[in-house]
Structure 1
Amino acid sequence: MSISTAHALLRVALPVPLRREFDYTCPLPLPAPGCRVSVPFGNRSLTALVLSHPDDSDVAIAKLKPITAIIDQIPILAEAELKLLAWATQYYLHAPGEVYFQALPTLLRKGETAAYRSSPYWHLLDEQAEVSTQAIKQQQALTLLRQGPLSSGELQIRGISGAILQALAKKQIIEKREQVPVPNDWRDTALIIAQDDKPRLTTEQALAVSVIQGANGFTPFLLEGITGSGKTEVYLQIMEAVLQAGLQVLVLVPEIGLTPQTIARFQQRFSLPISTLHSGMNERERLDAWLSCRDGSTAIVIGTRSALLTPFARLGLIIIDEEHDTSFKQQEGFRYHARDLALLRAHQLNIPIVLGSATPSFESLHNAASGKYQLLTLSQRPGTATVAEHVLLDSRHVQMHAGISPQLIELLGQDLAKGNQVMLFLNRRGYAPALLCHGCGWLADCERCDAHFTWHRSPSRLHCHHCDHQRPLPPACPQCGSQQLIGTGLGTEQVEQALTGLFPQYGIIRIDRDNTRRKGSFAQHLEGIRNGQYQILIGTQMLAKGHHFPDVTLVAMLDADGALFASDFRATERFAQLYIQVAGRAGRASKPGRVVLQTHQPEHALLQDLANQGYRHFANSALQERQAAMLPPFSFQALFRAQAPDANHVQSFLQQLVQQLQPQLPATVLCLGPLSAQMERKAGQYRYQLLLQANNRRELAGACRLALALIDTLVSARKVRWSLDIDPAELW
């Protein structure tokens, strides 16, 4: 049946978890691909993204519904972005609508106009205003506002709290006004570079800058530089030529906590518009930043994983800092890897891309060895900074004090007495990982997970870190009535308490997820560390990444033995990366540093290799083992995960899938499972998984498509929640 000449077909993506696109009719003239329209879907009205104008449809024309409204007259996503997202849909075998809408800020997903709106901005009333030299934060706020009005969110990500702003407002130095952001073309202004801030490059840095600047078109570079070797300075210098050419730069960082220091470093160098994109921004701030990227009115964009999907007017360079970090892999919904998609985007735009890390992922090292990436190495720290000394402390047969050995206590005291800072790393928050009855052996277990409650003392509670369930601390053992309830194991709160007793004369700061929940608090803690307010730093993984603390001379890892015997084949790689990252916080300036690792396994080959030979030697040995076992990156994996409140439903679903799938698979595709997750029950859900592995991506994709087709025919699939993860970063 032909369609009326006054109407035509639109193929659209809808934000629904269905692996298909949808056709609607639309009056002429048609909105272009990349525009949004409103469409009826069941009994709802949804925002849809136009993908194409097909000539025909698999559905009878008479059954197609008309759209209800055209939202955009001009595409909000250009052809380049649509092409990238179409490729991602095919590669990750995910629902198209969820992929395309991942690239849109929340307000655009809701159908709001893609335009700037007025929002409150802080304005400086007096350019010459001064505050007390003691009010360091107020001085920083004034310095930032002298460059132009900023929103509260923009100031908070730079470490300026609402209380600081209110204090300045009371002094009538600043005021808040409603303002519509005005896009400006920064290419019309001279690129101002603070020459005084440009340090002299080492030979290795200069070579890296020269090689990257000489790149023609798409070239992936792996910048492998030891911690403190000046990778950021290389980034800044290669950005300079790109910005002078009027092109934009995208810098991806793994976590929000790393953006303030990155912004500050870039602002010192470039007097150009800098935008941030991360989950800590409110919806309006995120949309305004997204629009400024698309319109080209921002020069540098610093963001976390999702910033990679933002449209750019003139993108000329992509930098991925800490490229090995697993935070670049989305673990829910559309499970993409920002590093891998960034490489594709750079290829499509024919621009260079730089992956930087002190501990490159095995995938990147393999790509460099095979010639896909150009490897650049920074093996020295600039200036008088030296590589830290590594010490393995045998913690066997010694009396520990809250997990700290007498030898380590002595070393801490020595460095503190010299006026230095020390850092202790423990990747377990809370006071103790479990609460035990000393009378009968009862353990406080979470009713919804195969896990113990973590005991927190401030505030006092039991907290499951897996499902977030919390309950009050029991006054006595519910099993025997004994009041002898004790903590087992070690957490950051316990370490903090012990060190407060051992070194009461020094300032102590603990940084973990529990005490950095308030917006801006993490930045405030970091500022306190840098200005010398704290001498003893205790932290989890969030303190280990990328931070520059020039006065930290001793870093200690308190408990790392668990990672040596984990079931995940990537566990040793992750531990090695974490160890080197933690070690990199020591001796970053002119003061020599020392890294101490407490262990019950001082002879372990991995620890000896890392301490004596370094990460690269360990990685080369581990890659040989991976190749012998044909594990990634020498093979490719896809993981089907399934969960339900009833374990039988999950097992039945995956077993039926295997029974029908395995006979149809080629011999080159391995089908492993179904296997229970390492923690089988989490948040009341029983979890199982099925792993597919092949030696090439095409065979793996074919096996996954076959499995998806079979799942559509299984009634048992309706009783479970299941997902497909291409290139999984971790097993359950």
Structure 2
Amino acid sequence: MHPGWRLDVAVQTPAHSALGSLLSYASTVPMSPGTLVRLPLGRREVLGVVWACAERTTDDDTRELKAVAGALDALPPLSESWRDLVSFAARYYQRSLGEVALAALPPQLRELSSQQLARRLKRRAAAPQGEAALPPHPVPPEGAGLAQLGPGGAQADVALPARLDPPRGAGLAQPGPGGHVPAVEIEPDAALPVDLSAEQTAALARFEAGNGPFLLFGSTGSGKTEVYLRAVAALLARDDAAQALIMVPEINLTPQLEARVRDRFEARFGAGAVVSLHSGMTNPQRLASWLAAHAGQARIVLGTRMAVFASMPSLKLIVVDEEHDPSYKQQEGARYSARDLAVWRGQRECAKVILGSATPSLESWHHSRPAESDDPGGRYVRLSMPGRIGDGALPTVRGVDMSLQPRKTVLSGALLEAIGQRIARGEQSIVFLNRRGYAPVLACADCGWKSECPYCSAYRVFHKIDRTLRCHHCGFTERVPRACPACGNPDIAPVGRGTERLEEHLAELFEAVKRPDGSAVRIARIDADSTRKQGALAQRLAEVHSGEVDVLVGTQMIAKGHDFRRVTLVAAVNPDGALFSSDFRAPERLFSLLMQSAGRAGRDASYLATRGSTAEMWIQTHHGGHPLFQALRRHDYPAFARQQLDERRAAGMPPFAFQALVRADARTQEAAQEFLHAANTAAEALSHAAQVARYPAVPLAIQRVANVERAQMLVESASRIALQRFLADWQPLLHALRREPVGKGVIRWLIDVDPHAI
């Protein structure tokens, strides 16, 4: 009797179970790697991905293997390149293979049986053109047997490259005779009424002729999105099967871009040619988009960081818009960087990659540095577009020295006058404050009580609109007390200011001011609270675009990506906090946020001309002489980047070193730090320990969340490979410590590679 086949399957096992990356199961027939299977795990039946298939022999081990329950064989197997991406991500970010693989699949796929999936695919295949019908693929009858093994075989493990980024020259275009890379002519799209600027034309020409990866460094309003869309259009026109992935950092940036992409491409390539992938979609919507991409029917996938794992068999172009944005770094589970994985995936699949930003991350800026006499230069190709479309000027940056203002001044008189002038002309202003809620804290002046969260080492924020105190860390919410809970004083008052209070304050200040048509001034707010309900964000953005709103108050949600044509003034109310943060990345994030905010003003040069107006960015600060603000006044990102990189080089910080955080969560801070101290001691015996610096364990900035104490330890090395090998060797020791007495008080631990916050 034939002994059958052994399948090595990636399964999502419990965190820190130490069960291994792959589990073995028995099958009566062979299966192709990448096949989705349902199989027993404990008392449950779960979804898994076949990673390898081998024929069992009589000399094979005699272990009794559980049999797979069935295969989702109506679906083409996941490609080798997709499995390589998952393998690399799991290995690099120190997570289990099954965790990354299953998290990359749509949740609803895990719930479907083979018969249910087959029925769904039949309905999609029979759908009229334009309803995301799948291309021809044989769908077996219900109850069909397991998939047959196709050509190929088990996937070999891919060695970790010396660097996460691809070597210079990796990409699509191949050199012709004599090593010359032929230029590719950019065909004009008859459906595009927009004329390209000279800078856009030059950037596209270099992109088509080169290999990349490319860093498109373009000022706000320079037309980076048009460059992306032209590159996509050229690709799809010359390759009938090619697919493109366009990534944006946040869900709230997708509607405007999605509408633009659909308008551009659906008339030419069909109604199902563009699909979205992000966490704001329902599970059925995500599954439909994923199936269309996996089958090759969707030519363009537009998504957030999760889309980097989309199964796209003919992927030829990846665009990462606003590549500097911290939202590309996953902060739960496998803490991957979607931007960095996009670059790696482009190398693996010979797809071109464009990273675009007006304020690139310092890592990308460093990787795109030009060659000099003593420096071969970076591995990225920098494409520069410093000018705005239509010869529009960047906004004038005006500073307000708050140390010269009366005490407790919220908005200076000069700023209020400037906003009033905009209202009188029918223009719009944005007032930016990166703190939501009415006030950061509610306090009693008599006894000193403050609205602390009982479960976190943080204050609960006062939200006046619903009279609640809400913790933004654990979510604990209570009604505002009628009197101080400690002393009974009824006179408890808000301290500090959030967007909700600022909105109220502006409404009071401009109550007597009228718009040009004589109507009352309209103040609106966009933050995580005001857009909590479904459709609220789209409605509020539509009101801004239509001109119904005169002054928009908001957090960083409004500071980037939006194209508000009537905005001529942007003001940052209180940006000083990040200047002196212990996190070395804080200045970079602040400069980016302020420069992106400034970019919302004056994007339409013709509108400014008809109004006889100018674009301005106002910054209220106590530290106007700080180098960050001096560079911002000149819109001089290169100068800011040079100063920051010099400091980081001297201090041995990224991108000149590589870091990871090991974090422990426990019921007490002592238990968390004791576990990390034991882990540090155990690491001394590892082979690469001498190449890795390990720092003492410290509490997190918010050390207690939901009654869980948190501590972390930083590890750092000048060698990425040394750090990776050290972490891989350290993992078994951490698992072992978790089972020892020192780990009994620990709830969980994790490793965060290339952390964004220290």
Aligned to 1:110: 111
In the superposition, relative to structure 1, how do residues 518 and 402 fare at CA in structure 2: closer, same or farther (>3 Å)?
Answer: farther
Aligned to 1:82: 83
1:210 Cα deviation (Å)? 0.8
1:118 Cα deviation (Å)? 9.3
Q: Secondary structure at the match of 1:47?
A: strand
- 1:585 aligned onto 2:607: no
1:69 Cα deviation (Å)? 2.4
Q: Distance in 1 between matches of 2:384 and 2:744?
A: 51
Q: Distance in 1 between matches of 2:60 and 2:382?
A: 51
CA contact (8 A) 1:116 1:181 kept: no
Q: Distance in 2 between matches of 1:401 and 1:417?
A: 27
1:54 Cα deviation (Å)? 4.2
TM-score by length of 1: 0.87
Deviations 1:150-206 (A, max 9, x none): xxxxxxxxxxxxxxxxxxxxxxxxxxxxxx742369xxxxxx997464322221111
Q: Secondary structure at the match of 1:32?
A: coil
The residue identity in structure 2 corresponding to 1:620 is R
Q: Secondary structure at the match of 2:397?
A: strand
Aligned to 2:259: 264
Aligned to 2:246: 251
Q: Distance in 1 between matches of 2:347 and 2:354?
A: 12
CA contact (8 A) 2:683 2:689 kept: no
In the superposition, relative to structure 1, how do residues 427 and 116 fare at CA in structure 2: closer, same or farther (>3 Å)?
Answer: farther
The residue identity in structure 2 corresponding to 1:47 is L
The residue identity in structure 2 corresponding to 1:548 is D
Q: How does 1:585-604 map to 2 (within 5 A)?
A: 585-590=600-605, 591=608, 592-604=614-626
Aligned to 1:706: 729
Aligned to 1:454: 461
Aligned to 1:324: 324
Q: Secondary structure at the match of 2:715?
A: strand
In the superposition, relative to structure 1, how do residues 670 and 440 fare at CA in structure 2: closer, same or farther (>3 Å)?
Answer: same
Q: Distance in 1 between matches of 2:84 and 2:100?
A: 12
Q: Distance in 2 between matches of 1:475 and 1:115?
A: 60
Q: Distance in 1 between matches of 2:255 and 2:33?
A: 36
In the superposition, relative to structure 1, how do residues 426 and 25 fare at CA in structure 2: closer, same or farther (>3 Å)?
Answer: closer
Q: Secondary structure at the match of 1:117?
A: helix
Q: Distance in 2 between matches of 1:367 and 1:710?
A: 35
1:78 Cα deviation (Å)? 1.3
Give 2:499's match in structure 1, choosing from 476, 488, 492: 492
In the superposition, relative to structure 1, how do residues 34 and 7 fare at CA in structure 2: closer, same or farther (>3 Å)?
Answer: same
Give 1:436's match in structure 2, choosing from 440, 443, 450: 443
Aligned to 1:337: 337
CA contact (8 A) 2:442 2:495 kept: yes
In the superposition, relative to structure 1, how do residues 704 and 308 fare at CA in structure 2: closer, same or farther (>3 Å)?
Answer: same
In the superposition, relative to structure 1, how do residues 268 and 40 fare at CA in structure 2: closer, same or farther (>3 Å)?
Answer: closer
CA contact (8 A) 1:35 1:71 kept: yes
In the superposition, relative to structure 1, how do residues 112 and 403 fare at CA in structure 2: closer, same or farther (>3 Å)?
Answer: farther
1:696 Cα deviation (Å)? 1.0
Report the aligned-residue RMSD: 2.4
In the superposition, relative to structure 1, how do residues 460 and 25 fare at CA in structure 2: closer, same or farther (>3 Å)?
Answer: closer
Give 2:216's match in structure 1, choosing from 204, 215, 223: 223
Unaligned 5+ segments in structure 2 are 137-186, 370-376, 512-519, 609-613
Aligned to 1:214: 209
Q: Secondary structure at the match of 1:486?
A: strand
Q: How does 1:643-654 map to 2 (within 5 A)?
A: 643-654=665-676
Aligned to 1:302: 302
In the superposition, relative to structure 1, how do residues 389 and 633 fare at CA in structure 2: closer, same or farther (>3 Å)?
Answer: same
Give 2:743's match in structure 1, choosing from 717, 720, 723: 717
CA contact (8 A) 2:335 2:752 kept: yes
- 1:5 aligned onto 2:7: no
In the superposition, relative to structure 1, how do residues 119 and 306 fare at CA in structure 2: closer, same or farther (>3 Å)?
Answer: farther
Aligned to 2:563: 548
Unaligned 5+ segments in structure 1 are 122-146, 150-179, 186-191
TM-score by length of 2: 0.84
Q: Distance in 2 between matches of 1:276 and 1:448?
A: 38
CA contact (8 A) 1:662 1:671 kept: no
The residue identity in structure 2 corresponding to 1:728 is P
Aligned to 2:486: 479
Q: Distance in 1 between matches of 2:297 and 2:121?
A: 17
The residue identity in structure 2 corresponding to 1:536 is V
1:613 Cα deviation (Å)? 5.3
Aligned to 1:131: none
Q: Distance in 2 between matches of 1:359 and 1:682?
A: 32
Aligned to 1:683: 706
The residue identity in structure 2 corresponding to 1:21 is S
Q: Secondary structure at the match of 1:514?
A: coil
Aligned to 2:628: 606
Aligned to 1:133: none
Q: Distance in 2 between matches of 1:418 and 1:45?
A: 65
Aligned to 1:130: none
Q: Distance in 1 between matches of 2:61 and 2:696?
A: 42
CA contact (8 A) 2:295 2:313 kept: yes
Deviations 1:523-546 (A, max 9, x none): 111111011111110111111110
Aligned to 2:99: 98
The residue identity in structure 2 corresponding to 1:87 is F
CA contact (8 A) 2:658 2:723 kept: yes
The residue identity in structure 2 corresponding to 1:550 is R
Q: Secondary structure at the match of 2:403?
A: coil
669-678 vs 613-622, which moves further = 613-622
CA contact (8 A) 1:226 1:380 kept: yes
The residue identity in structure 2 corresponding to 1:462 is L
In the superposition, relative to structure 1, how do residues 575 and 493 fare at CA in structure 2: closer, same or farther (>3 Å)?
Answer: same
Aligned to 1:566: 581
1:712 Cα deviation (Å)? 2.3
| Percent of aligned pairs with the same amino acid | 39
- 1:62 aligned onto 2:77: no
- 1:202 aligned onto 2:197: yes
Q: Distance in 2 between matches of 1:321 and 1:618?
A: 21
- 1:692 aligned onto 2:707: no
Q: Distance in 2 between matches of 1:60 and 1:447?
A: 55
In the superposition, relative to structure 1, how do residues 120 and 256 fare at CA in structure 2: closer, same or farther (>3 Å)?
Answer: farther
Deviations 1:548-588 (A, max 9, x none): 01110000000011000111010001001101111100111
The residue identity in structure 1 corresponding to 2:416 is I
Aligned to 1:14: 11
Q: Distance in 2 between matches of 1:196 and 1:552?
A: 29
1:646 Cα deviation (Å)? 1.9
Give 1:405's match in structure 2, choosing from 403, 408, 412: 412
Aligned to 1:730: 757
Q: Distance in 2 between matches of 1:424 and 1:41?
A: 53
Aligned to 2:372: none
Aligned to 2:39: 39
Q: Distance in 2 between matches of 1:621 and 1:70?
A: 56
Q: Distance in 2 between matches of 1:106 and 1:722?
A: 25
Deviations 1:372-428 (A, max 9, x none): 000000100011421110011111142367721222111111121121100000011
Q: Distance in 2 between matches of 1:729 and 1:224?
A: 21
CA contact (8 A) 2:456 2:473 kept: yes
Q: Secondary structure at the match of 1:667?
A: helix
Give 1:520's match in structure 2, choosing from 535, 551, 556: 535
Q: Distance in 2 between matches of 1:322 and 1:230?
A: 13
Q: Distance in 1 between matches of 2:497 and 2:695?
A: 36
Aligned to 2:663: 641
658-667 vs 89-98, which moves further = 658-667
In the superposition, relative to structure 1, how do residues 574 and 25 fare at CA in structure 2: closer, same or farther (>3 Å)?
Answer: closer
CA contact (8 A) 1:102 1:309 kept: no
